[in-house]
Each structure stands twice: as structure tokens, then as C-alpha cells.
Amino acid sequence: MHRNLRTFLDLLRKENEIVPIEAEVDPYLEAAEIHRRVIDQGGPALLFKRVKGSAYPVVTNLFGTARRIELAFGPKPEALVREFVHLAESLLPPRSSELWKHRSLALDALRLGTRNTRRAPVTEVLDRPAKLNELPVLTTWQEDGGPFITLPLVYTENPLTKKHNLGIYRLQVYDSHSTGLHWQIQKGGGFHYQEAEAQGKPLPVTVFLGGPPALILAAIAPLPEDVPELVLASLLAGEKLRMTGNPLGGHRLAAEAEFALVGFAPPNERRSEGPFGDHYGYYSLQHAYPVFHVESVFHRPDAIYPATVVGKPRQEDFIIGDYLQRLLSPLFPLVMPGVRDLWTYGETGFHSLAAAVVRERYGREALVSGFRILGEGQLSLTKFLILTDTPQDLPDFPKLFEHMLARVRWETDLFVFSNVSMDTLDYTSGEVNEGSKAIMLGLGQPVRDLPREFRGELPRDVVYAEVFCGGCLVIQGVPYEREPEQAGRLAREPIFSEWPLIVLHDDVEVARSAPLFLWATWTRFEPAADIYAAQTKVERHHLSYHGPIVFDARTKPGFPAELVVRDDVSAMVDKRWREYFPRGL
């Protein structure tokens, strides 16, 4: 729909979906706090026209509402995906009548992919050597290790197969010509770097900033490895993506990008990266990552720097993630035939919790689909997977959870897998990239009536108890440091025997909001360390749990700090609010 960022911004202006900020704004903390407040209000995109220390304006919150997602892409991508799935399902066996009915797909397919062009605004200016210090790179949280490029479209190619990857991997700017490359596990760019490093060779890297909105969304999409993101970008855009040759040689460049950073990541070089306030709502800690050496920067003469701000859900990435799930979810049954529906919860950082509706045509078939999900690309990083065989509105978590708690047989339907890989940003195990997973089944007919009100006297050291949903009681206990064993003790308390699940928290208020409950529970809970039961037996080498079950979601020692805006930054933005928005939002 949009050839570049400029046409999208023009439409946002026409639709009153973007507000220019004329007052000078500091890229250190101030711009990010303005952005967060506008996101919280469901407000417009923001164009910061005067950014301290830089000649380039900054645009943020491009996709922060469903309305702007609609303006960026329209209904056609979702309709195309649904039609493709219908065609694939109806062509077994192939019939000429069905092919003719879907003949328009052939025309759409001709518009997928890339095409070369000589008209390339991105190549109009060349900075060589690179001058990253002139970019208006934001520092979004006070404990961050430095400024981070937060919407970099990082392009690499596999040294062996030449297949490409386009992903968003944050870049900590170290100086005028180098950044960190935050390649987490299970990321395509990281796999390319491993191949190059094994050969002792540098990996060429090109980073695009801006360009067609479709290019940005394609870089975010959790596609399977070797599925080309540039094809998805053309699907979203409704036309082939314009690419141009790099005048200096190397990767082709996205012709309509605002900036293109060109360089390489040498083998066996690591540098400390972080901390960074990330989308889990906490600081990811400092670790060693590869280094991106930027040799040159191409850009438009009047380039606009795009950025986003992440933090405690819900932020802009939450809106984008939900859209991509709706777009791609019809494909899941084609890739994983036993999976009828699948949803990951952005409130938990996406990887911490997923739920699926699966087939159960014979006993325990659901586990076949469960293992298939946990073996699929980035879904393999899922920490807790809920499976049911009954159609559900999966985003409605309280309703889904009641359905599960009425059916789960803890003795046979909860599986915990220890010593497995886990999302890099999840620190609940106390280790990096290592932890545990769990699968919870809720199949067939209900096996219990769920309690919906707590009556009785609370045990010692339990301050409050509040119902989250039928069958799930949230308890406010004592700090973990004071009594690490409290969860195990509470599981054996007779007063809780009728409750299938108890969730132990530092603050009972999380029970009053589904988004808060999801965030506070699954970002502070690791299955192998934090599940307790009234009784646990080993039966046929399976851990058989006898309820009630207790999840210990209290904050543990050594856990990264929660993201909180610094008081002086909050006060400054309060004071200057009318300068930013003299006419209001």
C-alpha cells in the first residue's frame, strides 16, 4: 500500500493520526517518556521535529493502534492469506474448477518478491566513514547501557546457502562507527553469523532504518527459518519491494529506506551489551554479543529516523504482535496439521505463554501437537503451553483458564521439562538461555466444579486472597527472601484443597486485571523451580501432581529490576507537556 515511510506519514496526517512536536526534545529519556504516555492513552504517532544533538527528526508510535495498522496495510493481506489457505485445503486432489476460482491468487503471486530499480532515494547521500553519533538514537530507560537503535531492520545472508534473513535486533551504539548486535538464540541472523564464524570470516551486515511499513512489519514477523521476509514484505505492501545495488558493492539496498548502515560483524569478537529495558517489562542484563562495524551510512538528504520504545506491556510491539498473529494464524494448520488455533500472549512477552486448540482423535494425541509447536521456529522458546481440544476464544484468557482448570487432571496432564533452552530475555531460571518448559492439558469434559469465592481463615503470613477466575486463587504472601518455602507449605494447607490452582504473588492486586495477571505471573515464574503440589509422586517415571497446585510468582533474588520511570524524568515531562502538545492530543 505504501511505497515508503513518507507516503504512510502523509496518510497519517490526512487522518489526524500523527502529531508533530515542535519543542526541542532530548533523546536521552525524555522522548521515550512522552512516547510511553501517548501509547498509554491510545494516542497518535509522534514526529519529534527538533531532537537535541541531531539534525534528523524522529518518528515513533507508527503502529501503536489497530487503526494505524489498518491504515498501513488495509484488509488485503489477511484476505490473501485466508484465500491461500482455502486453496491449499481445497486442492487435494487438484481440480481445475478450484484453480480457476482462485485465479486471482496467480496475479497476486506475480507481485511477490523484489525488483531492481535505479531510482533509490536512500543512496542520495553517503557518509563514509560512518557518523552514527549524528543519529538521534534514543536512550529509553535510565539504567540502559547506552543509546539503542530500536527499529533496525538487520539484513544478512547465509554464507553457505545465500538465503537471507531480515530481523529486528536491537543495536547498542558504542561510538560513531560500531554497535552491538543483539542476536538472541533461535534468530536467523545469529545462525548466519555462526556459519560465518565457523569459517573464520566476517559476516556482511546491512541495517535499514525506515522504508515501506511492510518492510518493518516483515522484519518483526516470527517466520520459520529460511522463509524469506522480503516476500512477506511484498505481500503486505501489495507490490514487489524496490531494491537497488549498493554503489560500493555488497548487499542490495532497500531503495526507499531512510538510512542504510553498511558494514560487517567480524568472527570471534564480542563486546559487552546492555543492560536494556526490554518488552518483558524488566532490564535484560549485560552480556557479550557480536559487534557490528559500520563502514558507511547511506541516507536520504532529509532522512527521518524511526524508533520505538519497549517496556512493560502493552506497548507498540504488543499491537504489532497481535496483528501478525491474526495475519499468520490461518497458516498454522497447514504447517502443523493437528493445530487448529494458536495464540501467544503479548502481555507475557509472547514467549512465556501460548495456548492452542488441537486435535484429540485418540488418547493423548494432543501431546503430538504440543511437541510439534515446541519444535517450530521461535515457538520452540515457549515456556508454558496450554492445550485444549475444544474451540476457544484464546485471547480471552480468563475464560480459557476456567475451561482448562475445570478439565485438567494434575496427576497426568501437567508435564514439566527441565534443562531445556529458554528465551534469552527470560531470567526466571537464574541462567541465560537455559531453563524449563511445561505443557498443561485440559481435554474432554469437565472433571470438577470450580470454586468462585474464597471462604475461610487465611493461614499465617498470608495477607490477602482474591479470585482471578473460577478455580484460580491469587494469594499475597511474604517476600521470597523471608520464606522461600511458603509456596510448598501453602499447597498442603487444607483450606485451599478445593482450589485447583493457587498463584502466590507479592501483590494480590494482580488478580483484578487479566493483562496484569498474565504479565506478573508468567514473567516471574519458571516451571521447574516454581510449581508446587500438595503431593508429588513418581509414577512410570512421570511426576504425578496431586492438587492443589501452587505457582510461586513472587520476585526472586537476583531477578532483573522492573522498569520504572525515574521521578525527575516524569516531573520534567509533566512540566513540559503543554510545550509538546499546545493544542492537546
Query: 144, 278, 322, 426: which one is catalytic?
Result: 278
In the prediction, which pLDDT does 97 show? 52
> Count of CB atoms within 10 A of residue 96's CB?
7
**What sign has the CA pseudo-torsion 418, 423, 427, 431?**
positive
Angle at 60 between CA 322 and CA 222, to 5 degrees: 35
25-62 in b/e form (b: 16+ CB < 10 A) is: bbbbbbbbbbbbbbbeeebbbbbbbebeebebbbbbbb
* Residue 358 in grid coordinates: 488441537
Phi, psi of 434 (to 5 degrees): -130, 145
In the prediction, which pLDDT does 99 show? 45
**Residue 389 known to be catalytic:** no
pLDDT tens per residue across all 585 residues of the chain: 799 999 999 999 999 999 999 999 999 999 999 999 999 999 999 999 999 999 999 999 999 999 999 999 998 888 888 887 777 766 555 555 544 454 555 555 656 889 999 999 999 999 999 999 999 999 999 999 999 999 999 999 999 999 999 999 999 999 999 999 999 888 889 999 999 999 999 999 999 999 999 999 999 988 777 778 998 898 888 889 999 999 999 999 999 999 999 999 999 999 999 999 999 999 999 999 999 999 999 999 999 999 999 999 999 999 999 999 998 888 888 889 999 999 999 999 999 999 999 999 999 999 999 999 999 988 999 999 999 999 999 999 999 999 999 999 999 999 999 999 999 999 999 999 999 999 999 999 999 999 999 998 999 889 899 999 999 999 999 999 999 999 999 999 999 999 999 999 999 999 999 999 999 999 999 999 999 999 999 999 999 999 999 999 999 999 999 999 999 999 999 999 999 999 988
Q: How far apart are CA 387 and CA 440, in angstroms?
A: 6
Helix (H/G/I), strand (E/B), else coil: 367: helix
- For the entire predicted model, the pTM comes to 0.93
In the prediction, which pLDDT does 350 show? 94
Parallel/antiparallel/unpaired status of strands 501-505 and 542-552: parallel
In the prediction, which pLDDT does 100 show? 47
Domains, the chain, in order of start with CATH, read 5-306 (2.30.110.10), 317-442 (3.40.1670.10), 464-552 (no CATH)
